[in-house]
Amino acid sequence: MIGATMRAMVLREAGTPLVESQLPIPQPGVGQVLVKVGACAVCRTDLHVVDGELTKPKLPLVPGHEIVGTVEREGPEVSRVRKGDRVGIPWLGSTCGKCFFCSNAQENLCDNGLFTGYTIDGGYAEYTLADEQFCVPIPEFYTDDEAAPLLCAGLIGYRSLTKTGRAGSLGIYGFGAAAHIVSQLAVHQGRQVFAFTRPGDAKAQEFALTQGAAWAADSTSAPPVELDAAIIFAPVGALVPLALKAVRKGGIVVCGGIYMSKIPAFDYDLLWGERQLVSVANLTRQDGIEFMRTAPEIPIRTTLQHFQLSQANEALSLLRKGEIEGAAVLRCG
């Protein structure tokens, strides 16, 4: 029997801590399902929302967009999922389905898209709503905790890696949740991974080596070989010229974050030679289908640090300081 209220961690104002609250359990509308949250990973995007670096969130807001849970109730006209199904709820919450982007396999760029834990309430709660069309099937191979980071760190990492084409030597700048997942995929594909961390962060460098990296050093270091491509997960604009300097002519630098500090001016020579600088924005449902099929085949393993729902502020604080190894996961059930 579902009660009338639920526990949730709520952002009342950007730049302030989340407030543990009792909220009414939401009722699913047309095409929606009510999901009992088992686990919700803590993403750097959540941090950008809470700290006010991503502007214009829905307020008050329940953050969180790496959600795994069980369908408890179906709204009208639901046909794809049923009560009892285990589903994942990612960042992309819905799109218009009609615009140029939606009509050209670029739904991740829809101007009318809604985003979980940003413009619609997310998973730092005991229950949440989701559009059934945007729910991701979760492989039985993973527990709720293990699967949660795959829904953004994994999916954005997967989309970023796809942007690098057939790159054999790959630099990864910022070795957090996304990097520790995508490095496993890259090594499985036969690529050589070179990890770049915060200066002096020997622990992160050791962790990168355990995840398959062939080499790890701080971000100011030059790699031992010329890179075919690089992915920047750290939200630090100053890394862009460093990454461009590290890649060969014809190489590509992918900015995998939703937010980045200002990119400093750099000499055209760093871009010349048909080097490319591109960004990754959001994800598509097809990304979710492909990655969730691939992850258990490798298998990708997620390194986790667990927190209770009420400890969300602590998890965000540790992430802000770079003190999470792998991914932080809230146990919400």
Query: How far is residue 79 from each of residues 56, 76, 135, measured CA to CA in Å?
Result: 33, 9, 12
Sequence letter at residue 1: M
pLDDT in tens, 258-311: 999 999 999 999 999 999 999 999 999 999 999 999 999 999 999 999 999 999
Residue with tokens 């962790």: 207
User: What pLDDT does 2 receive?
Assistant: 75
**Residue 81: closest CA among 28, 37, 135, 30:** 135
Provide the 8-state DSSP code for 294: H
- For residue 163, which phi and psi values (nearest 5 degrees)? -65, -20
User: What pLDDT does 130 receive?
Assistant: 98
- For residue 203, which phi and psi values (nearest 5 degrees)? -65, -45
When the pLDDT of each residue in the chain is averaged and rounded to a whole number, the result is 97
Residue 1's pLDDT band (cuts 50, 70, 90):
low
User: What pLDDT does 235 receive?
Assistant: 96
CA distance 224 to 329: 35
User: What pLDDT does 89 receive?
Assistant: 98
Instruction: Tell me if 282 sits within 8 A of 91, measured CB to CB.
Output: yes
CA distance 260 to 130: 28
Mean pLDDT score, 10-34: 97
What domains can you pick out in the chain, each with its CATH number? 5-151+283-331 (3.90.180.10), 155-279 (3.40.50.720)
pLDDT in tens, 135-153: 999 999 999 999 999 999 9
User: What pLDDT does 268 receive?
Assistant: 97
Q: Residue 2: exposed, middle, or buried by beta-carbon count in 10 A (0-12, 13-18, 19+)? A: exposed
Instruction: Tell me if 256 sits within 8 A of 227, measured CB to CB.
Output: no
pTM of the entire structure? 0.95
**Residue 252: closest CA among 158, 152, 153, 168:** 168
Alpha helix locations (H) across the chain? 44-50, 144-147, 153-163, 177-188, 202-210, 239-246, 285-294, 312-320
pLDDT in tens, 75-115: 999 999 999 999 999 999 999 999 999 999 999 999 999 99
Going by DSSP bridges, is the β-strand pair 169-173/92-94 parallel, antiparallel, or unpaired? unpaired
Looking at the chain, the number of H-run helices and the number of E-run strands are 8, 17
Helix pair angle (153-163, 177-188), 10° resolution = 50
User: What pLDDT does 3 receive?
Assistant: 79
What does the angle CA 256 – CA 93 – CA 325 come to, to the nearest 5 degrees?
Answer: 45
Mean pLDDT score, 35-60: 97
Burial string for 181-209 (b: 16+ CB within 10 Å, else e) reads: bbbbbbbeeebbbbbbbeeebeebbebbe
Please give the radius of gyration of the chain, using alpha carbons only, rounded to the nearest integer: 19
User: What pLDDT does 113 receive?
Assistant: 97
Mean pLDDT score, 181-192: 98
Q: Is 22 helix (H, G, I), strand (E, B) or coil?
A: strand
Mean pLDDT score, 120-137: 98
CA distance 46 to 138: 22
